[in-house]
Amino acid sequence: MGRMVAWSVLLVGPLFLAGCFFDEDANISLVQDNPFGHPSPPAPSPTIAGKVAPNVAVAVRVDQAGQAILAANPQIGMKPSFVVIGAPQAEVFHRGTSELILTEGLVNKCATSGQLSAVLCQELGKMASEHEALVNPQARVPERITPMEVRVGNDGGGAFGPADQVYRAELGMYEKEYKKKVTEAASGPAPDPMVLARAYLTKTGYAATELDAVAPILREAGENRSFAKQMLAPSAAPAVP
């Protein structure tokens, strides 16, 4: 019995020692990662509208500039998303009133925050002008608020007395002026996008001359319409609310 134990130690001992020198990182696979023998497809790249996503810092820069414009101009009445496509060419366009889209290449051409804001304001001006042309003309007129009635002296006539003649005259003039505004809005053209852009930009705190500074950049962007053609197709363009 003692001899059997001794032989076991002699046989097992070398194998154990040899095991200590095995490479733990050796690529010994009992089951393939893909049992069907086909390589696994690579993970898809992050995309925006089917295109490569931009640098995060660029997207943040655009969103901050856009949100500052909207906060300074509540009269715009729209809150579009500011979407950046990670492409080197300069391009800018919008989809309805829901998205303002520009490329990373265009953003990088804007040397200052004022220039970037000018680009966004001009596109917002186009968006607002197109929207105004489609909505009910009466919606372009300021909210209808009739003059306040203030009765003085004998004009009061008690709780059920006659109406103040001065107030009735003011009300008549107001109604006439309001109807005139509605008629002008219905027959007149939509607001000039550049006029709107200047107003938006100055209310945001930048000089209107920034629009002149970005004119060459926007001319270059106007020559590139590859993304706009894809994303503004009838099946892709969102309806104007």
Question: Cα separation of 108 and 57, whole Å?
Answer: 11
The answer to the question of residue 85 being in a domain is yes
Name the pairing type of β-strands 81-85 and 92-95: unpaired
Residue 19, classified by CB atoms within 10 Å of its CB into exposed (0-12), middle (13-18) or buried (19+), is: exposed
Residue 143, classified by CB atoms within 10 Å of its CB into exposed (0-12), middle (13-18) or buried (19+), is: exposed
The answer to the question of residue 104 being in a domain is yes
The answer to the question of residue 25 being in a domain is no
The answer to the question of residue 96 being in a domain is yes
The answer to the question of residue 17 being in a domain is no
pLDDT score of 189: 76
The answer to the question of residue 106 being in a domain is yes
pLDDT score of 89: 94
**Which positions ≥6 away from 216 have C-beta within 8 Å?**
none
Name the pairing type of β-strands 92-95 and 99-103: antiparallel
The answer to the question of residue 33 being in a domain is no
pTM beyond 0.85: the answer is no
Residue 33, classified by CB atoms within 10 Å of its CB into exposed (0-12), middle (13-18) or buried (19+), is: exposed
Question: Cα separation of 224 and 221, whole Å?
Answer: 5
pLDDT score of 135: 72
pLDDT score of 139: 55
Q: pLDDT tens digits, residue range 39-52?
A: 444 443 344 545 67
Per-residue pLDDT of the chain (241 residues; tens, 9 = 90+): 555 444 444 444 444 444 444 344 444 344 444 444 444 444 433 445 456 788 999 999 999 999 999 999 999 999 999 999 999 999 999 999 999 999 999 999 999 999 999 999 999 999 999 988 877 555 555 555 665 655 555 555 555 555 566 667 777 777 777 777 666 655 567 789 999 999 999 999 999 999 999 999 999 999 999 999 999 877 554 544 4
Question: Cα separation of 118 and 205, whole Å?
Answer: 11
pLDDT score of 50: 54
Burial 119-134 (b: 16+ CB within 10 A, else e): bbbbbbbbbbbebbee
pLDDT score of 227: 93
pLDDT score of 172: 74
The answer to the question of residue 27 being in a domain is no
* Residue-number span of the structural domain to which 89 is assigned: 47-134+192-231
Name the pairing type of β-strands 51-52 and 92-95: unpaired
3-state secondary structure of 127: helix
pLDDT score of 183: 64
Question: Cα separation of 51 and 48, whole Å?
Answer: 5
pLDDT score of 193: 95
User: Structural domain tally of the chain?
Assistant: 1
pLDDT score of 54: 86
Strands (E) located in 10-143: 47-48, 51-52, 81-85, 92-95, 99-103
β-bridge mates for residue 85, sequence order: 103
First to last CA, the chain: 94
pLDDT score of 6: 46
